[in-house]
Homo-oligomer: A and B are copies of this chain.
Amino acid sequence: MPDPQPIWQVMTGYQHSAAFKTAIELELFTKIAEGNKTVVDIAKACGASEKGIRVLADVFTVHGFLSKHGGEYALSEMTAAFLNKNSATYLGSAVDFIMAEGQTRGYDDLTNAVRNGGSQIKGEASMDPDSPMWVTFARAMMPMMYPAAMGIANSLTYDKDQKLKVLDIAAGHGLFGITIAQAYPNAEIYAVDWANVLTVAAENANRMGVGDRHHLIPGSAFDVEFGDDYDLVLVTNFLHHFDAETCTGFMQKVCKAIKPGGKAITLEFIPNDDRVSPPGEALFALVMLAATPGGDAYTFAELKKMCEDAGFGENVHVPMPPMPQHMVVSTKLS
């Protein structure tokens, strides 16, 4: 008989998501990083029971997030880098978005989403105006987006002092535009998002020293006036929320705002044509099925067609391994 363990692992995955959320809430990994090694010491530092901490720490030892020798726990290299609150690359805040009710409720209704071809969740959902979900996203997910933002900024080949007009669509935390403003001192960033979300982007722009070159365009990206003559438009983690026709129409609006020779950089989870590889990219289709009426993880062929139909003359696929997010760099030729 084959081994049914993989079935058990998928079925009980929710238990380990919950354990992770609890570990972040109680700062389990941070307290171990601070030198607490035994169940007794960690429990005291976390303000929790010894029994509970023993079970939780053992679970994350099984997962390889911790090691355990002679009753003392230690962080793995990965855990030290990403799950210690005092690490510059701490990612634990992502649970505030990934495991918020705004996200999880889509999975409670997943059978209906599969029946209907998309989520029918309404009210403070991803597609609703001024949804507080995107404020949570902007605050919780910024650390997770930092590598992609750096990747985009580093991929640009403008002259250091060049004047640049950059449109940052669905700016969220603002990091994609801010990173470019930091790299190019004469870049002016125009950030589009819901007004409530833009308060987060503006905060970050000020904190990161580029507030005077960071301008806000509040409202729906489909409705607001972008202005024109942009050198660069960033369309990051946006298209996957919409069906292909909507994406094509939107990219037409983007193309019109760009000056000849200017570019759009689209950031997306782009699976291969088989749609089942690489894993991270392929699995993202589920996230969109659960969260949106018509969104998807689009292949490069699909994104290329949208961009061509929208008026872009050249579209180049740029993976950014090991990240599951890829760039499509589209040029408005004439």
Contacts and interface: CB of A to CB of B under 8 A. Distances in A.
Interface of A: 1-8, 10-22, 25-26, 46-56, 58-59, 61-65, 68, 76-78, 81-83, 89, 91, 94-95, 98-99, 104, 107-108, 110-111, 113-118, 274-277, 279-280, 282-283, 285-287, 289-290, 296, 322
Contact of A20 (B10, B98, B277): B10
Given A68-B274, A78-B3, A110-B22, A14 B55 contact: no
Contacts of A118: 49, 51-52
From A51, A56, A287, name the one whose CB has the most chain B CB atoms within 10 angstroms: A51
Contacts of A283: 12, 15-16, 59, 62
A14 B17 contact: yes
B114 A78 contact: no
24 contacts: A1-B89, A2-B81, A3-B78, A5-B280, A6-B64, A10-B17, A10-B63, A11-B95, A11-B98, A12-B17, A13-B15, A13-B16, A14-B14, A14-B18, A15-B290, A18-B107, A46-B114, A49-B118, A51-B289, A55-B114, A55-B286, A59-B286, A62-B276, A62-B282
A117 B51 contact: yes
A113 B64 contact: no
A322 B6 CA distance: 13
A116 to B, nearest CB: 6
B55 A2 contact: no
A219 B287 CA distance: 45
Contact of A99 (B2, B14, B54, B68): B14
A99 B18 CA distance: 13
Given A4-B82, A46-B114, A58-B276, 15 more contacts: A1-B89, A2-B81, A3-B322, A4-B78, A4-B91, A10-B16, A14-B104, A18-B108, A19-B110, A22-B111, A47-B115, A50-B117, A51-B117, A51-B296, A58-B282
Copies of this chain, complex-wide, total 2
A110 B6 contact: no
Given A58-B275, A276-B68, A83 B7 contact: yes
From A18, A63, A78, A277, name the one whose CB has the most chain B CB atoms within 10 angstroms: A18
A311 to B, nearest CB: 27
Contacts of A56: 114, 286, 289
B14 A115 contact: no
Contacts of A287: 12, 15
Contacts of A48: 114-115
Given A52-B117, A115-B52, A274-B68, A63 B6 contact: yes
A22 B58 contact: no
A17 B276 CA distance: 18
A231 to B, nearest CB: 31
Contact of A49 (B5, B7, B62, B116): B116
Nearest to A82: B4
A187 to B, nearest CB: 27
Contacts of A279: 62
A285 B288 CA distance: 33
